[in-house]
Structure 1
Amino acid sequence: MPKVIVAFPGGKHKVLTLSYDDGRAADKRLVEIFNKHGIKGTFHINSGLLGQGDRLSADETASLYQGHEVAAHTVTHPTIARSPKEQLVEELFQDRKQLESIVPYTVRGLSYPNGSFNRYIKELLPFLGFEYSRVVETTGSFSMPDDWFEWKPTCHHKRDLMKLAEQFVNLNKRQYLYMMYVWGHSYEFDNDNNWDVIESFCEYIGGRDDLWYATNIEIVDYMKAFRNLQFSAASSFVYNPSVQTVWLQVDSRIVEVPGGAKVTLT
């Protein structure tokens, strides 16, 4: 029986993803930096606050985040663990509806406003069309999430960003999948007068052939496609029922399994 493990697209074993909350004007500069270095981000938006203060308008949201992911952050940013269930459902589901009237795809991701969540909320999210949610607790590590509805990032950009980036770049054990996940708020760079932090990070870590640059939902969808692969009992062949190509490491070989295809592994 061959030894089969999942790889990221192109046979890679490291993925970088970032997410930023609130949809503030500073996202314009942040997206420009991401685009310059081929980095993808997920941007969590409060649809009920669009255009207020320095928050981006609906039209700006539609144009700015192309090539990235727009995800939910509730309509008005309440502390949802303290909300009655009626308001909880309204804040979450209405945010999806309003964002989906702006961007041309289903909104399936979330970050908890004020970092507020509990088990009840986590159990409710799949029934409201969500497939993941990011928390604010960080791990300082590069492991893949065990719970998509309590997705812990590696770090906030204020904490050891370049040190962790250097560690991540130098990881080379291909028997593991590694993920570096950075989160924050773009306006913090204005407040702290330190745009050089994210500019230096993106310049250092962008444009690398051995990294997959992905949005949050792209990672979720890819891992789901892997879990849906149909392997023979002896792992001698595999059928991919999805439309998404999945890459495998089979012993020492990298094998591509296109959507709708049956591939021999031995």
Structure 2
Amino acid sequence: MAKVLMCYPEGRHKALTMSYDDGRNADRRLVDIFNRNGIKGTFHINSGLFDQPDRLTEEEVQTLYEGHEVSAHTLTHPTIARCPNEQIVHEVMEDRKNLERIVGYTIRGMSYPNGSYNSRIKELLPGLGIEYARVVAGTDHYGMPDDWLEWQPTCHHNRDLMKHAQTFLNLNKTQYLYLMYVWGHSYEFDLDNNWELIEQFCTCIGGKDDIWYASNIEIVDYTKAFEQLKFSAAMDFVYNPTALSVWLSVDGQPVEVKSGEQRKF
């Protein structure tokens, strides 16, 4: 029987994703840094606060974040664990509607405003079209999430970022699937006067052939595509019913299973 393991695209076993909240003006500088280093980010935006100071304008969102993911952060950033269900539904759905009108694609993820969530909110979100939601407590580890609606990052960028980067770059055991997930707020680089930190990080970790640079939703979609693969009982072929190519390690060799393809091992 073939030994089959999930891989990231092109047979990689490491991925990096970045997650930044609030849609502040400093995102312009952060996006430029990401773009120069080939790094992808997910940007969680409160669409009801475009008219507030230090916020991006609605008109620049689509162009600025091109190549990245725009995601929900609720309409007005309330502490939603204190809110009634009706208000949570309004905050999430109106944010989705506004952002979808602006960027032209379905918004399917979010980060919890003020890090506020509970089991009641997690139960609501799938019915509101939300497939993942990021929390703020980091793990200091490099694994895939067990719960997409309680997705813990590796670290905030102010928590030993370069130490984490070096550890991540040195991970080389291909029997594991590694994910480094960094979160924060771009305006914190202004407040802390440490833009050189994210510049150094992106220069250090960008442009690596063995790392998949992905948005949050790309990781979700790819993982779900793998989970939908139809393997034979004898593990001698697989059928891919999804719209994405999925890469596998089959007896140590990278194998691409294209959309709609049945592939023998």
Report the TM range for the smaller structure's normalisation.
over 0.9
TM-score w.r.t. the length of structure 2 is 0.99
- Mapping 1:74-89, distance limit 5 Å: 74-89=74-89
Post-superposition shift, 1:19? 0.4
Q: Measure, in 2, the Cα distance between the counterparts of 1:124 and 1:231.
A: 33
The structural deviation recorded for 1:123 is 1.1
What residue in structure 1 maps to residue 190 of structure 2? Answer: 190
What residue in structure 1 maps to residue 34 of structure 2?
34
What's the counterpart of residue 175 of structure 1?
A: 175
Deviation at 1:62, TM superposition (A): 1.3
Q: Please give the alpha-carbon distance, in whole angstroms, between the structure 2 residues aligned to 1:182 and 1:129.
A: 24
Higher mean Cα deviation, 16-25 or 44-53?
44-53
CA distance in 1 between counterparts of 2:104 and 2:232 reads 37
- Structure 2 equivalent of residue 228 of structure 1: 228
Secondary structure in structure 2 of the residue aligned to 1:256: strand
Counterparts of residues 58-77 of structure 1 (less than 5 Å): 58-77=58-77
In 2, distance between residues paired with 1:50 and 1:264? 52
Alpha-carbon distance in structure 1 between the residues aligned to 2:58 and 2:234:
52
Q: Deviations over 1:26-77 (max 9, x none)?
A: 0000000000000000000001001321100111111100000000000000
- Count residues in correspondence: 265
Q: Distance in 2 between matches of 1:111 and 1:78?
A: 12
> Which runs of structure 2 are paired with 1:16-31 in the superposition (5 Å)?
16-31=16-31
> How far does residue 199 in structure 1 lie from its aligned partner after superposition?
0.2
- Superposed counterparts of 1:150-169, under 5 Å: 150-169=150-169
The code of the aligned residue for 1:168 comes to F
* SS class of match (1:138): coil
Identify the residue that residue 95 of structure 2 maps to in structure 1.
95
Considering only aligned residues, what root-mean-square deviation do their CA atoms show, in Å?
0.5
Structure 1 segments (4+ residues) deviating >4 Å: none
SS in 2 for 1:19: strand
Q: For the residues of structure 1 that align with 2:24 and 2:10, how far apart are their CA atoms?
A: 34
Q: Share of identical aligned residues, percent? A: 66
Aligned-partner SS, 1:242: coil
CA distance in 1 between partners of 2:50 and 2:68 (Å): 18
Residue aligning to 1:258: 258
Aligned partners of 1:127 and 1:84: how far apart in 2? 16
2: CA distance, partners of 1:86 / 1:243: 35
Gaps of 5+ in 2: none
Give the Cα–Cα distance (whole angstroms) in 2 for the partners of residues 125 and 42 of structure 1: 18
**Counterpart Cα distance in 2 of 1:192 and 1:140:** 22
| Aligned-partner SS, 2:44 | strand
* TM-score, normalised by the number of residues in structure 1: 0.99
C-alpha distance after superposition, 1:74-126 (max 9, x if no partner): 00000000001110110011110110000021000100000000001111111
Aligned to 1:114: 114
CA distance in 2, matches of 1:120, 1:230: 33
**In 2: Cα distance, 1:51 partner to 1:190 partner:** 21
- Specify the alignment match of 1:131 in structure 2: 131
What amino acid maps onto 1:37 in structure 2? N
What is the one-letter code of the residue matched to 1:67?
A: G
